[in-house]
Structure 1
Amino acid sequence: MFVVELFIPLEKPDGTAVPVNVFERIKTELTERFGGVTAHLQSPAEGAWKPEAEDVVHDRIAIFEVMVEDVDTAWWRDYRHRLEVELDQHRILARLHQVTVL
């Protein structure tokens, strides 16, 4: 089994909030395609990174997790890219972990 995690910012680069319906749509899309999703929305995580020779950037994020048996990396790359365009993001982090279900 694998877990795919998507780290979705709560704000766009200009500081405007990502509309709540976007998060609801993502939950629906992932549930319909994969049969379920875990969305960490109530207590947003905080991220920080430092682009080369720039100040540290901070953001608040929601995390979506999907468990899958097989990974269609092309689909995930396309989905991540569509979200990046929609949310005006340079990059949305998507991670893949192999897991053992106990």
Structure 2
Amino acid sequence: MYLIQILLPLYDNEGVPFTQDEFLKVRDQLSERFGGITTYMRSPARGLWKETRETTVHDDIVIYEVMAAELDRAWWKRYRQQLAADFRQDILIVRSSEIELL
């Protein structure tokens, strides 16, 4: 079993917020494909990283999680690329962890 997390920014690189409809579209797509989804939207997380030695960049993000019995890497690669285009990002994080249900 795999846990897949998608980190979506609340704003584009110019600071323009994405609409609620854009997030609902992703939620609905994932829920339909995987039979359920967990969203962390109430209190956005903050991502920080060093772009250069002098520059720290931050993003306010929401996290979507789905579970899948198999990890279809080709599908996830295409979906990540589509999300990056939709959310106007150079890089968009989609990560997976192998999990054991207890």
Place the TM-score, normalised by the shorter chain, in its bin.
Answer: over 0.9
Which residue of the partner structure matches residue 48 of structure 1?
Answer: 48
Give the Cα–Cα distance (whole angstroms) in 1 for the partners of residues 20 and 88 of structure 2.
16
Give the Cα–Cα distance (whole angstroms) in 2 for the partners of residues 76 and 18 of structure 1.
22
Q: What letter is aligned with 2:37?
A: V
Which residue of the partner structure matches residue 7 of structure 2?
Answer: 7
| Moved >3 Å (runs of 4+) | none
Give the Cα–Cα distance (whole angstroms) in 2 for the partners of residues 101 and 54 of structure 1.
43
Q: Deviations over 1:44-73 (max 9, x none)?
A: 100001124451101100000000000111
- When the two chains are superposed, the root-mean-square deviation of aligned CA atoms in Å is 0.9
Matching of residue 17 in structure 1 with residue 17 in structure 2: yes
Q: Matches of residues 57-96 of structure 1 in structure 2 within 5 Å?
A: 57-96=57-96
CA drift of 1:88 comes to 1.0
Query: What SS class does the counterpart of residue 65 from structure 1 fall into?
Result: strand
CA drift of 1:98 comes to 0.5
Give the Cα–Cα distance (whole angstroms) in 1 for the partners of residues 54 and 17 of structure 2.
24
Aligned residues: 102
Structure 1 runs not aligned, ≥5 long: none
CA drift of 1:87 comes to 1.3
TM-score normalised to the size of structure 1? 0.96
Identity of aligned residues (%): 36
